[in-house]
Amino acid sequence: MTSIRIFSLSLIVFFSLNLYTCISFFSVLPIGKSGFPNLEEVVIQGKDDDKIAMISIDGVISDETRESFFGVKSESPISVIKENLKRAQADKDVKAVILKVNSPGGTVTASDIIYHEIMEFRRVSNKPVMTIF
């Protein structure tokens, strides 16, 4: 009888720890209310009047939503880039945009959409866009 109790108690502890780990993991994901990653502002030098927006493009460039190992879905890279360009355009203090690309490539369609979004951003906002790899 005691071996069954020990086994049951072990299972309860095991599942409780797993549940705690999952809750802790999902509560610290850097996702804002809109489903897009939160933005972070860092003052490197001087006053914070003029800004340069840095937009990261990580992973495969695709128009599909991504799903992590734990089943958490995130926005497609195109949606994230569009949203970040929209935020940079709306912020009058942003004077330029740097695209930080860490990607093995992707689909032709997704790359073309991103290209046209960047060109439209440059045309409308008149802000320069630079890319680093």
pTM across the whole model: 0.65
User: How many domains does the chain contain in total?
Assistant: 2
Structural domain boundaries enclosing 58: 31-132
Q: Are residues 23 and 87 in the same domain?
A: no
Beta carbons of 85 and 117 less than 8 angstroms apart: yes
Other CB atoms closer than 10 Å to residue 110's CB: what's the count? 19
Q: Are residues 15 and 38 in the same domain?
A: no
The CATH number of the domain holding residue 127 is 3.90.226.10
Of 113, 96, 107, 111, which is closest to residue 55 (Cα–Cα)? 96
Tokens representing 35 are 């489903």
Q: Are residues 60 and 125 in the same domain?
A: yes
pLDDT digits (tens, 9 = 90+) for 88-133: 999 998 999 999 999 898 899 999 999 999 999 999 999 999 999 8
Q: Are residues 9 and 55 in the same domain?
A: no
Model confidence at 29, in pLDDT bands (50, 70, 90)?
very low
Q: Are residues 40 and 63 in the same domain?
A: yes
Q: Quote the pLDDT of residue 69.
A: 62
Query: Residue for token digits 């709306």?
Result: 90
